[in-house]
Amino acid sequence: MTLRYISTRGQIDPCSFSQAVLMGLATDGGLLLPEAIPQVTARQLRHWATLPFAELAAEVIRPFADETDLPNDDLRRLCQRSFASFSHPAVTPVVRVGGRAILELFHGPTLAFKDVALQWLGNLFEYILTRDGGFLTILGATSGDTGSAAIHGVRGRAGIQIFILHPHQRVSPIQERQMTTVLDSNVHNVAVRGSFDDGQRIVKALFNDLPFRDQYRLGAINSINWARILAQMVYYFSAWGQMTGGDPQRPLSFAVPTGNFGDIFAGYMAHRMGLPVERLILATNRNDILSRFFQTGRYGSDTAVATLSPSMDIQRASNFERYLYYLLDQDGAEVARHMAELERSGEMRLPEAKRVEAARLFTARAVSDAETLEQIRRFHQETGYLLDPHTAVGMCAATEFPDALSLATAHPAKFGEAVRQAIGQEPELPASLAGLLEKPSRCAVLEADPEVIKAHIITTLAAA
C-alpha cells in the first residue's frame, strides 16, 4: 500500500514522502499532509514503550513513507544518526520534580526542542539529495533560536548550503555565537543591519524572485515542513511510554507552550494515530491568537508583542491550517475558503459546534509575563529546578491539570535574562555554551536590502 501526500487545500497531485519533504509548502499555498493517518495497535504501543528513542523514531516514522521511497535500513540509520547528537542517553527524558512531570526536550546541540526536528530534517535532506543527485540552498531569517537549530542540523552536509539572516546586534550574544561559531564551509551567517522583520521581508522577496529561486533551488526550513512534525511525534510516544510503562489504558495529558502550532500539532497527530491522549493543553504567552481561537471559535491576527518567551511571539501560527483541515472534515475547498477569508478580513470564524469539538481535546490558556516569572520563581523556590520562560508558560497554563506532562522546550540558560528577572540571578551556563563567546566566528554584516543579500548569496555560492 502506498501512502501519498496531499495539500490541505486539495489542489495538488498526490506526491511521495520525499517529494513532500523537498516541497515544504504545497504549490497551491496549502500544507502537506498524509492522505490517511496510519493507526497504531495496543500491542504496538506496548512494544514501542520498550524501545530506545532512535528505534522508536524509526517505528513511528515507518508507516509515513513507502519502503521503496525510504527503505527500512536507511530509515533506521537516519534515525540513529539524527539523535546521536543529543547529550542525554534517553534523548528526551521525563523527569519528575515536585510532583510535576517534565519532558526535557533540550538536550540537543542548541539546547532547544527544535533540535529534535532539525537534526532529523538535516539528515533526511542530505539523504534525499545524495540519492537523487540534487542540491539545496536553504535560506531563512531568524530572531535567534530556529536559525541556530537549522544551522546545527545541516552543518557539513553534502548538497546543502545554508544562509541564515539575523538582525545585527539584536539577538542575544549566546544566540549569535551559537550561529556564527559554526565554521563549516556550507554555513553562511548574515547579520542584517535592521530588524527581524527586515530579514523576513528579504527572505520573502528572494523566494518571490522565481528565476533566482529555481536556479539556486531555494529551500525553507521553517516549521511547515512535514518531516519536522514527524520527528516531534516521536517524543509524545516516548514520553507516554516513560510515564505509563506502555499501558494502553492510561491516557496522558500534555502541556505544550505554543507559537507556530507545530509542536502541539505533532501531539494531535500522535493522538490521531492512536496514542492515548487525554488532553492537549495549549499554552500561549500574550500573543494569544491560538488560545482565543479555542475559547471563542474566532481566529484573527493581531500585531505580535515582545514577551519573555520570544520563540512564541507569533501572530499567525503557520501549522494551524493542518489542524483546520481535520476540524473541517478534510475538506480542502473549505480550508481554502476559510484561509481566503482570513486573508481578506483578518479573521475567520468557525461554527460553535466545531469549537465544541475542538474543546473536547484542547484546553487553551494565555499566560502573562508576570505569571511566567512567578511560575519560574515559585517552582525554583519549591524544587530547585529552573524552568525556561517557554516551559514556564506551559506549566502555568496546566495549573489545573497537575497530572499533565509539561514539555520543556528550552534550557533555562538560553534565556538567562528572564531567569534573572525571576530569581535574581542568571542560570549557570552548561558546558556546551561555556567558552562560546571566545570561539572564533564568521559572519557577514550587510545592508537590509534584498539585492545586496542576493548578490552576496550568488558570489558566496560561486566561490563554494
Ligand X SMILES: *Cc1c(COP(=O)(O)O)cnc(C)c1O
Grid cell at residue 457: 548569496
What Å distances lie between residue 32 and 6, 224, 274, CA to CA? Answer: 6, 8, 21
Which CB sits closer to ligand X, 82 or 260? 260
The dihedral sign for the CA sequence 298, 300, 306, 310:
positive
Q: Residue 189: beta bridge partners?
A: 164
Smallest distance, ligand X to C-beta of residue 224, A:
11
Which CB sits closer to ligand X, 82 or 110? 110
Smallest distance, ligand X to C-beta of residue 388, A:
7
How many Cβ atoms are within 10 Å of 126's Cβ, its own excluded? 20
Smallest distance, ligand X to C-beta of residue 113, A:
6
Smallest distance, ligand X to C-beta of residue 252, A:
19
Which CB sits closer to ligand X, 49 or 324? 324
CA dihedral of residues 7, 69, 42, 322 (deg, nearest 10): -20
Smallest distance, ligand X to C-beta of residue 358, A:
16
CA distance 187 to 398: 39
The dihedral sign for the CA sequence 74, 77, 81, 84:
positive
> Which residues in this chain contact ligand X in the complex, by CB under 6 A?
112-114, 145, 223, 257-263, 311-312, 390, 409-410
Q: What residues have CB less than 8 Å from 43, skipping those under 6 apart?
A: none
Residue with cell 540571578: 425
Nearest C-alpha neighbor of 278 from the set 252, 297, 249, 317 = 252
Smallest distance, ligand X to C-beta of residue 240, A:
19
DSSP assignment of 14-82, as one string?
-B-HHHHHHH-B-TTS-BEEESS-----HHHHHHHTTS-HHHHHHHHHGGGS-TTTS-HHHHHHHHHHH
Which CB sits closer to ligand X, 75 or 317? 317
CA distance 54 to 84: 8
Smallest distance, ligand X to C-beta of residue 320, A:
10
CA distance 232 to 270: 9
| 342 φ/ψ angles, rounded to the nearest 5 degrees | -60, -45
Q: Which of 114, 354, 439, 454 is catalytic?
A: 114
Residue with cell 519560574: 376
Which CB sits closer to ligand X, 408 or 453? 408
Which CB sits closer to ligand X, 64 or 261? 261
Smallest distance, ligand X to C-beta of residue 210, A:
28
Task: Show the CA angle centred on residue 28, arms to residues 232 and 139, nearest 5°.
Answer: 55
What residue spans of 208-310 are helical by DSSP H? Answer: 210-216, 226-244, 262-273, 289-296
Which CB sits closer to ligand X, 34 or 147? 147
What Å distances lie between residue 240 and 104, 184, 395, 435, CA to CA? Answer: 13, 37, 17, 36
204 among known catalytic residues: no
Which CB sits closer to ligand X, 106 or 216? 106
| 96 φ/ψ angles, rounded to the nearest 5 degrees | -110, 120
Catalytic positions: 114
